[in-house]
Amino acid sequence: MLIHVDRESRTPLYLQIKNQIRDMIFSGVLSPGFRLPPERKLAETLNVNRSTVLNAYHELKADRLIESRVGCGTVVLEPHSAARGQNAPFACPEPIHWRQFFSVTSSRQQNPLLQDLMQLLHRREDVISFSLGIPAVELYPISVFQDIQSEILKKHGQATLSFLPTEGYYPLRESISRFMRKSGAAVSPEEILVLSGSQQGIDLAARTLIDPGDVILAEEPSFFCAVQVFRSAGARVIGVPIDENGMRTDLLESFLARYKPKFIYTIPNFQNPSGTVMSPERRRQMLNLAYSYRTPILEDDAYGELRYEGQPVTSLKALDQHGYVIYLSTFSKTLSPGVRIGWLAAARPVIRQIVMAKQLNDIHTNSLAQFVLDGFLRRGLFEQHLQMIRQEYVKRRNMMMDALQKSMLPGVCWNVPEGGLYLWCRLPERIDKSTVLLMRAIDQGVTFVPGEAFYLEEQGCNHIRLNFALQPKGVIEEGVKRLVKALRETLVSTESLEKEIKAQTNPLF
Ligand SMILES: Cc1ncc(COP(=O)(O)O)c(C=O)c1O
């Protein structure tokens, strides 16, 4: 019985063994009654674990292709009777192993940590989330949306539930264009594409610009969902270090010269996760470098409107005079994530190309949501809403910082962001895996996003990202209390572990 195992293959070893034995049974190479080698022997022959062969045999037994007989070992069964249930009206097919069918690209998209966190929050209402990247739910403008929606449905009738051009509802593109002009970006409605959230913009930009093997430069740390999109499009993502003024443009030139990237991805305002803002000088330097090296910039401005202190900094899009910047923003962080509307602003040839990708993706963004949002913007309600949430979020930021300060945890420090949603906390070096801390935190009933999620390489393990805006006053304090408890427990356990290791490594003589 000749079996070959390929250790480079994405198919697990046990499945390779199972499939080859199955094929030999169906092709008649192994006839009914044939005795398969004992598990241990086959494992030795193939140089695999015994459990691998056990799993393969287990699956073959479940498919009724083999069975164990006392005194005979494991024997092959008649494939027809095995493949067909006695009373079953249809042939009983092979159980399908979906993992074998998933594309290489889709396997690159997995983010189990994020999925687990989302599921956990749906399952356990007692858990306080500092992890989700969304605004405060109790501040969503529900009643205003209700009023606008019924007015819009009456006024525009069927149009609100009909198809729209892929580019978006033209009046909404006008409203967004007016909004952008206020902060200095002279973008016409034709240069705006309405998106189903800015994540879609990241994906469409990747599909439109990236060829397999391209390099993308991004801040390190950076927004992991963007990094994953670039990787699944076949790009290599290279991290450029940041400091308190955003991406280190003093290092950027050497990265541009060395890697010749397809584009630079940057979150210049209240960066996710670090909360840093790229200084005006660095923005100019980045643009000049982009011009010199003919490299486009994907500017992701998800958080720009959430400024609580200090002066706004002009966007790269507004500074750019030569059409190098593709700008992305969203209403997810200001209004609500469920409205699922974002936008992309770029030169017309870019819009035309990306529109083709969007057409294949979702034809257009939800019509009713676009009508209602346009009504909200035209009535000047968005500005009012922004003022209200800015006042509230700065209070929540201060509350969270106070609560952390009061806990007096040695070795824990954090940034003081002038805006955005996140505190980026550094924990003592001894916490070398914040995912371990997360498990303890979940036991205590609180969540955060572990720092390592944002790094391209194995780094950032002693960082955590906390959303300070999501929870109201009392809940912030309770959440921090739970977090501090989990942190103390982790510190104590690492300390006792260190002592144990030291005791064990003490010289005996
Ligand atoms: C930097 C950044 N860009 C884009 C997004 C995606 O936002 P949405 O698709 O909800 O507009 C997020 C969400 O967390 C983000 O942090």
Give yes or no: residues 369 and 487 share one domain.
no
Tell whether 359 and 481 lie within a shared domain.
no
Looking at this protein, which amino acid is placed at residue 342? G
The finding on whether 229 has its CB within 6 A of some atom of ligand 1 is: no
330 lines ligand 1 (CB under 6 A): yes
Q: How far is the CA of 477 from the centre of ligand 1 (A)?
A: 26
pLDDT, tens only, 178-227: 999 999 999 999 999 999 999 999 999 999 999 999 999 999 999 999 99
Q: Same structural domain for residues 222 and 252? A: yes
For 447-481, write each residue's pLDDT tens digit: 999 998 999 987 778 899 999 999 998 999 999 99
Q: Is the pLDDT of residue 157 over 80?
A: yes
For 67, the domain range is: 13-101
Question: Which residue's CA is the closest to the ligand 1 atom numbered 13?
Answer: 133
Half-sphere exposure of 441 (CA within 13 A, CB side): 26
Q: Which residue has the higher pLDDT, 130 or 125?
A: 130
Q: Please, what is the average pLDDT of the chain? A: 91
Look at the alpha carbons of 9, 15, 21, 26 in this order and tell me if their dihedral is positive or negative.
negative
Q: What is the DSSP string of 217-248?
A: EEEES--HHHHHHHHHTTPEEEEEEEETTEE-
User: What pLDDT is recorded for position 497?
Assistant: 54
Nearest-atom index, ligand 1, CA of 271: 1
Check whether residue 362 and residue 393 sit in a common domain.
no
Q: 457: domain CATH number?
A: 3.90.1150.10
Statement to judge: residues 375 and 389 lie in one domain: no
**Ligand 1 mutation target, pool 117, 194, 198, most atoms within 8 A of CB:** 198
Task: Give the atom of ligand 1 at the shortest distance from the alpha carbon of 337.
Answer: 10
Q: Is the CB of 337 under 6 A from ligand 1?
A: yes
Q: Both 166 and 241 in a single domain?
A: yes
pLDDT of residue 246: 97
Looking at 342, 359, 379, which one is the last position of a domain?
379
Closest to 140 (Cα-Cα) out of 438, 454, 451, 388? 388
80-85 mean pLDDT: 53
**pLDDT for residue 23:** 86
Rounded Cα gap, residues 238 and 14, in angstroms: 36
- Ligand 1 pocket, mutate which of 305, 330, 340, 422 (most atoms under 8 A from CB): 330
- Cα 224 from Cα 495, distance rounded (Å): 31
